[in-house]
Structure formats: structure tokens, C-alpha cells
Amino acid sequence: MDRNIRTVEDVLRLLDGLFAPEADRWTSGAASWWDGFYADRGREVPFFVAKPDENLVSYLERGLITPGRALDLGCGPGRNALHLASLGFEVDAVDLSPAAVAWAEERARQAGAEIGFHCGDAFTLAGTALSGPYDLIHDSGCFHHLPPHRRISYLAVLDRVLAPGGHLALTCFAAGGMGSELPDGDFYRQSRLHGGLAYTPESLRWIFSDLTEVELRRMHDEPPESPSFGEPFLWTALFRRDARP
């Protein structure tokens, strides 16, 4: 007989278990699933390209964000972390997959970039290895793989390590473009995440209502010859954490 629920984290872990084995895409046990995903580097996966997100490039070109300390959540092969480092950011980058981190480290060595790569779960690393404060938290494709209850953990990471005046740059599945549009409760009834959650602008504004919206739009569709990555089935959002009185 199990009577082991005592804290909020105990409840979150219990809910995690409802999605096994699909939970292996985003929990600390995800290494094997994502390592298999990254095993063939020649696959035609859009974000395997060595290009930064077009919205991130745009934020920097327009001065919406400026160099400082940056954390790249779910960095994958490191394309956005490398772009930030090339522009003078001090970058930490984290991913659950050792294969992704190894690929990113190879790219960094080839570019002569100094980036602090970390392999593991950002929820547990935040506040320790990822100590902050960060002027920018960048997430291209991590948030939409989280089940609804783990938004609590995600917001806690922001609260813990995002500096006052700092920014969250987010890219995630857009409703009508890609991802499941089921109501939150149905994911628990079906014990499936259906490959990722789609969001509307209203839902993103509500979830991140403690932050100030700077910009929220669909990602531009970038042609293959473009120096930037862009797919129109994604939202791009930039939020700012205002200084507290």
C-alpha cells in the first residue's frame, strides 16, 4: 500500500507516471528516446540545421534583447546557443539527451565557442548547475512537449533564475499548425500527449501572465537558402520579467 504523497513535487511525479512511456520524451528518463532521435544526423529534421531561429535573430537585430547571460532550454544540437555565444552572450545550454549535447559540443568546438553545456533535467538543475540569474531564457521546442502539470515546474524555473528585466524567448507549436489541441484534462484521461501540445496566443498570454508581452507572432516561413530557421507551424513569443518594486 502506497501513501507517499506529501509535497507538490510528489503529486507532479505521480502525474508524470500517467504518461509513461511517452513521458520518456521530457522526464529525466528521456535520454534513450532522444538519443535514438538524434542518432541519424543526416535525417531531414527541420531543426537539425545549423541555423538560429529567425525570431531570435530578429530580437537581436532590433535590440529587443542585448548580450548578457543566457540559458538555452532543450538546446538540442546547439544551433541557437551557438548564435547567442557568437554575439557575446555568456551561454549555458541544457538538454536531456547526451547525444544532443555531444553534437552541440562538437559544433561549439568547431566554431571556437565557449558554452557551458549541461546534460539533464532543467527542473532539477535550475538553481544548482544552472544558477542564474539569466538575462535571457531561450526555449525553442521544449515547452510544448511538457504535460500540463509541468507548466508549474517550468514557471518555477523562470521565477528562480530569470533576472528582473530579463526575457523569455519561446517557440512552440501553434494551434492550427501542429500539435494536439485537446483540452488539458483529456491528456490525463487518455494518458497520452499525442506528440506535443498546441497553444493559442490567449493560452500563452494566460500561462505567462506574470510576465510582460513584448511580441507574439507566428514564426516566419524561411526558405532553405535562408541563414535562419523558420517554420510557420510555430508561435514565437518574447516576454519580459519586469523589475519588482
Cα 146–chain centre separation = 10
pLDDT band at 224 (very low <50, low <70, confident <90, very high): very high
* pTM for this entry: 0.92
What is the percent of the chain with per-residue pLDDT over 90, rounded to a whole number?
A: 74
Starting at the edge strand found earlier in the chain, the sheet holding 69-73 runs: 115-119, 90-95, 69-73, 134-140, 162-173, 234-240, 212-218
Of residues 170 and 4, more confidently modeled: 170
Q: For residue 34, is pLDDT > 70?
A: no
pLDDT band at 21 (very low <50, low <70, confident <90, very high): low
pLDDT, position 15: 92
What is the C-alpha separation between 49 and 51, in angstroms, rounded? 6
Q: For residue 244, is pLDDT > 70?
A: no
Q: For residue 26, is pLDDT > 80?
A: no
Mean pLDDT computed over every residue of the chain = 91
What is the C-alpha separation between 149 and 137, in angstroms, rounded? 20
In DSSP terms, 116 is beta-bridged to 92
At 141, phi and psi to the nearest 5?
A: 100, 5
The mean-pLDDT minimum among 73-77, 102-106, 125-129, 167-171 falls in 125-129
The CATH T-level fold of domain 8-240 is Rossmann fold (3.40.50)
Domain ranges of the chain: 8-240
What is the C-alpha separation between 154 and 169, in angstroms, rounded? 13
pLDDT, position 159: 96
Q: What tens digit of pLDDT does each residue of 41-98 get?
A: 767 767 778 899 999 999 999 999 999 999 999 999 999 999 999 999 999 999 988 8
